[in-house]
Amino acid sequence: MTDVSNTPPAEGDDRPVLTTRQGHPVPDNQNTRTVGSRGPATLENYHLIEKLSHFDRERIPERVVHARGATAFGVFTTTGVLGDSGEPLSELTRAKLFDAPGKKCEVAVRFSTVAGGRDSSEAVRDPRGFAVKFYTEDGNWDLVGNNLAVFFLRDAIKFPDFIHSQKPDPVTFERQIPARVFDFISQTPESLHMCTMVFGPRGIPASYRTQQGFGVNTYKWVNAAGETKLVKYHWLPKQGVKSMTGADAAAVQAEEPGAHTKDLYSAIAGGDFPEWELAVQLMDDHDHPELDWDPLDDTKTWPENDFPLRTIGTLQLNRAPRNFFNESEQIAFGTGVLVDGLDFSDDKMLVGRTFSYSDTQRHRVGANYLQLPVNSPKAAAVRTNQRDGQMNYSVDEGHENLTVNYEPSTIGGLREAEVPAHPAQGPTYNAQLTREHIERTNDYEQPGQRYQLSEPWEQDDLVANLGGLFEQCDRHIRERMVWHLFLCDDELGQRVGDAIGISADDIRHLEPLATQGWGPTEQKRLDNLGNNGPRDVQGLVMTHCVPNEHVAVADGNREFVGGAA
Ligand code: HEM
């Protein structure tokens, strides 16, 4: 029985009627069923109990990182050829989404910040997630990257510690305390390259539309003959690259904590569809002993003068979610989600990431998270022998005898797919089990080059930010950080040191960290600390060294404050 409504519909009100999830019409959504108008409530009131108990369960755990973000949908169109070389992509990878010029594939993209909670401000200093799901005819491919081309770490085992140092203090819950952040980084010099960007203007993109994107980790392409190449992915925004300073971000935050999401959705609603070109860098698949860095090290970029960018397609975003929770909160990306023709490299971060994503999603969304429309393939059939589990609502069909939910079987069910032409591929290994960092750590060269090649306003902002943050750290952390900066670049060390009263002479006695990679090059720089001279960047084309426009909100530029310009 339902309660009796005492308010008939107004004349001409032909809106559809509210129901419960059981399909029962709801005649009274205002009054709880009680014994008399002031009396006790009855427990059999199905509508009240369904409504309250569903509300009690509205939240799922937020992402442990990248909780704040926004998803949009669109299309990826491949050129089918490698840049202007004319070489068909099908000769390099057998992934079907690239096999013909003009071929299109539906995509979902989620942009995010990293450290803050689900409702946190978006105008903050943080890397931005740039995760793309391609719904290809071979099944889904996720390219889960960031807006900065490198990462803080090169081994997944450090990730939980690093994130803890970035998250609020577990006792006081105070947000991002520099003494914790730089305590960790001072002991982790592989983070320095990332720091040269996060603590400069690249750490605060003006909007999601005006940032680059990168796969960051090194992947592989495999062709029909089983030949492999190492590959790095770059997203280049057609809107240009635009960034802010901390003062600009403060001005944005004061008006609109969700400025990036609002900007993205207003642009799409206004028909101003953002676009990015997808480009790749390729390298032969081996360890490249001729380089003084390791191609599998995600703290390094590949010099673009030696490994040129080649455009392979364009991404356009043209639809916002119809329901934010369904299509953004529940969307699930993972580095393990590859299609035939695309493969992992042995990058130690990538391997760890690949475990972590689907593991957290089974906990965060549920065991059947891949049945949700936003996560299931759109252009490929799904036929598994998986059954049951919480919130299961479909059985994969596609064969006659549904009692056979196992394989192999002589009486029906599903069969295995054909093996690729070359089941074995890539380099061979001859090594023993060990726990060692990679040999070519080279933690200081690229951060130094990056500083040299940054625009003057980017350098000034980086120096001012680092100086201000180091002032909030203990003396020993400040000293170690300035020591690292001098090893990267004299001028960077000098300028930040000057800001906080630490000279090269104050710190040249510091010994290298026991845990860090150290060789004759580093020792020579330490012996000459402060007198190494500028690094030679002649002819070097470094990833990220593209014009970066300053959106000076603090000076009254209203672009990107609470909506697209
Ligand atoms: C070993 C290192 C890493 C681990 C263990 C890790 C783990 C995670 C986890 C658990 C999530 C939450 C996923 C979810 O709840 O759906 C996540 C999200 C994300 N991570 Fe990582 N991560 C690592 C490194 C990286 C790196 C290097 C990048 C960039 C290249 C990155 C980019 C992202 C992005 C973009 C998201 C958000 C995906 C979305 O929008 O749903 N992560 N990561």
Task: Please give the distance, rounded to the nearest whole angstrom, from the Cα atom of residue 338 to the centre of ligand 1.
Answer: 16
List for the chain the helix, strand, coil content (%; round to 5): 30, 15, 55
Provide long-range contacts, Cβ within 8 A and 24+ apart, for 286-295.
286/427, 287/427, 291/440, 292/440, 292/442, 292/445, 292/521, 293/440, 293/442, 293/445, 293/446, 294/438, 294/439, 294/440, 295/218, 295/230
Q: How many CB atoms lie within 10 A of CB 39?
A: 9
The predicted-structure confidence for 413-450, as pLDDT tens digits, reads as follows 999 998 777 778 888 888 899 999 999 999 999 999 99
Nearest CA to ligand 1 atom 5: 353
Q: What is the 3-state secondary structure (H, E, C) of 365-411?
A: CCCCHHHCCCCCCCCCCCCCCCCCCCCCCCCCCCCCCCCCCCCCCCC
159 C-beta closer than 6 A to ligand 1: yes
Q: How far is CA 177 from CA 163, 164, 189, in A?
A: 12, 11, 19
286 an active-site residue?
no
pLDDT on residue 565 = 52
Model-level pTM? 0.95
66 an active-site residue?
yes
Superfamily of domain 69-155+206-371: Catalase core domain (2.40.180.10)
350 C-beta closer than 6 A to ligand 1: no
Q: Specify the ligand 1 atom closest to the Cα of 66.
A: 37
Burial of 477 (0-12, 13-18, 19+ CB in 10 A): buried
SS3 state at 96: helix
Q: How far is CA 147 from CA 203, 212, 253, in A?
A: 9, 5, 20
Q: How many CB atoms lie within 10 A of CB 527?
A: 10
Interatomic CA distance for residues 224 and 86, integer angstroms: 19
Architecture of domain 1-58: Irregular (4.10)
Per the residue annotation, which of 31, 45, 54, 66 is the catalytic one?
66
144 C-beta closer than 6 A to ligand 1: yes
413 C-beta closer than 6 A to ligand 1: no
Interatomic CA distance for residues 476 and 86, integer angstroms: 55
pLDDT on residue 3 = 45
CA dihedral over 247, 248, 253, 255, signed as positive or negative? positive
**What residue segments make up the domains of the chain, in order of their start?**
1-58, 69-155+206-371
Per the residue annotation, which of 24, 45, 140, 146 is the catalytic one?
146
Task: Please give the distance, rounded to the nearest whole angstrom, from the Cα atom of residue 353 to the centre of ligand 1.
Answer: 7
Task: Please give the distance, rounded to the nearest whole angstrom, from the Cα atom of residue 375 to the centre of ligand 1.
Answer: 16
Region at 506 (left for phi over 0; alpha for psi -120 to 50; beta for the rest): alpha
Per residue of the chain (565 residues), give pLDDT as tens: 444 555 778 899 999 999 999 999 999 999 999 999 998 998 889 889 999 999 999 999 999 999 999 999 999 999 999 999 999 999 999 999 999 999 999 999 999 999 999 999 999 999 999 999 999 999 999 999 999 999 999 999 999 999 999 999 999 999 889 999 999 999 999 999 999 999 999 999 999 999 999 999 999 999 999 999 999 999 999 999 999 999 999 999 999 999 999 999 999 999 999 999 999 999 999 999 999 999 999 999 999 999 999 999 999 999 999 999 999 999 999 999 999 999 999 999 999 999 999 999 999 999 999 999 999 999 999 998 988 999 998 887 777 788 999 999 999 899 999 877 777 888 888 889 999 999 999 999 999 999 999 999 999 999 999 999 999 999 999 999 999 999 999 999 999 999 999 999 999 999 999 999 999 999 999 999 999 999 999 999 999 889 999 999 999 888 888 766 5
pLDDT on residue 2 = 44
Q: Looking at this protein, which amino acid is placed at residue 142?
A: D
pLDDT on residue 59 = 94
110 C-beta closer than 6 A to ligand 1: yes
pLDDT on residue 486 = 98
Q: Specify the ligand 1 atom closest to the Cα of 215.
A: 30
pLDDT on residue 258 = 97
- Structural tokens at position 255: 């008006």
Name the phi and psi angles at 162, rounded to 5. -60, -45
Nearest CA to ligand 1 atom 31: 145
